[in-house]
Amino acid sequence: MNLTLFDYYRSSASYRVRIALNLKGLAYHRVPINLLESEQKGEAYRKRNPQGFVPMLEADGARLTQSLAIIDWLDSARPDPAFYPADPGDRAHVLALALAVACDIHPLNNLRVLKHLSSMGIEQAGRDDWYRHWVREGLAGLEALAAPRAGRFLFGDSVTAADICLVPQLFNARRFEVALDAFPTLVRVDAEATALAPFAEAHPDRVAPAAA
Ligand SMILES: N[C@@H](CCC(=O)N[C@@H](CS)C(=O)NCC(=O)O)C(=O)O
């Protein structure tokens, strides 16, 4: 497979896809897109991804967007190790955990949202408060949903798509100094997962551009 990932080192949606590629043992070429310079909104990049977001994966010429769709495609193309349990009910639970991050937390705190708050005159302290509020509220829901069925990982003892979404979200939460004491299951699972090579090798510090 010829794989090219267009990403940004600190983008958590990109971080998810790097983890997923590593878990599948797939080699890929990275093309960094600088979000701070708005490269994702430029004409050249929008020709590849009209939504103007990272990540985007080119796979043998096909252009794949949306991190969870890319992760799902990877799981179909390379089923081992599976990102979802086989049982339909368990699968729905894991997908719900992943979506709790990808749909309920992440979009509220995206760069374009924070920039818009800024353009509405909301100062840094207000933007930080916004960020922390939605992360705390989202993580509280995720902790409550995950804890009863968590094992070594968010669901049972194997890595799933839920862990792939959790780790980048906690990286972001720490970056914005959100206290995580109230989320013991999430913090414990994050420590388990980040100790694994496919997660460690996808970490923003490992893929950061030299000058960052
Ligand atoms: N739902 C999309 C979200 C993609 C997304 O929001 N990416 C962010 C970086 S994490 C981005 O490109 N932001 C650019 C912007 O906000 O202008 C996914 O999961 O791939």
The model's pLDDT over 88-128, given as tens digits with 9 standing for 90+, comes to 999 999 999 999 999 999 999 999 999 999 999 999 999 99
pLDDT of residue 92: 98
Q: Model confidence over 16-44: pLDDT tens digits?
A: 999 999 999 999 999 999 999 999 999 99
* Mean pLDDT computed over every residue of the chain: 97
Q: Model confidence over 149-162: pLDDT tens digits?
A: 999 999 999 999 99
Mean pLDDT of 129-156: 98
Q: Does residue 38 have its Cβ closer than 6 Å to ligand 1?
A: no
pLDDT of residue 212: 67
Higher pLDDT, 1 or 42: 42
The alpha carbon of 53 and the centre of ligand 1 are apart by a number of angstroms equal to 5
Helix (H, G, I), strand (E, B) or coil at 63: strand
Q: Whose CA is nearest to atom 1 of ligand 1?
A: 66
- Enter the pTM of the model: 0.97
Q: Whose CA is nearest to atom 14 of ligand 1?
A: 53
Confidence of residue 49 (pLDDT cuts 50, 70, 90): very high
Residue 180: other Cβ atoms inside 10 A: 16
Structure tokens at 40: 């994702």
Q: Does residue 12 have its Cβ closer than 6 Å to ligand 1?
A: yes
Torsion of CA 209, 161, 50, 111, to 10 degrees: -60
The alpha carbon of 87 and the centre of ligand 1 are apart by a number of angstroms equal to 30
The alpha carbon of 110 and the centre of ligand 1 are apart by a number of angstroms equal to 7
Query: Percent of the chain scored above 90 by pLDDT?
Result: 97
Distance in angstroms (rounded) separating the CA atoms of residues 161 and 44:
31
Q: Give the position, in ligand 1's atom list, of the atom nearest the Cα of 8.
A: 9
Residue 184 has pLDDT above 90, yes or no: yes
Q: Give the position, in ligand 1's atom list, of the atom nearest the Cα of 33.
A: 12
Structure tokens at 150: 């968590």
The alpha carbon of 204 and the centre of ligand 1 are apart by a number of angstroms equal to 15
Distance in angstroms (rounded) separating the CA atoms of residues 158 and 78:
17
The alpha carbon of 160 and the centre of ligand 1 are apart by a number of angstroms equal to 21
Q: Model confidence over 59-69: pLDDT tens digits?
A: 998 999 999 99
Q: Does residue 185 have its Cβ closer than 6 Å to ligand 1?
A: no
- Residue 54's closest CA among 67, 69, 43, 37? 67
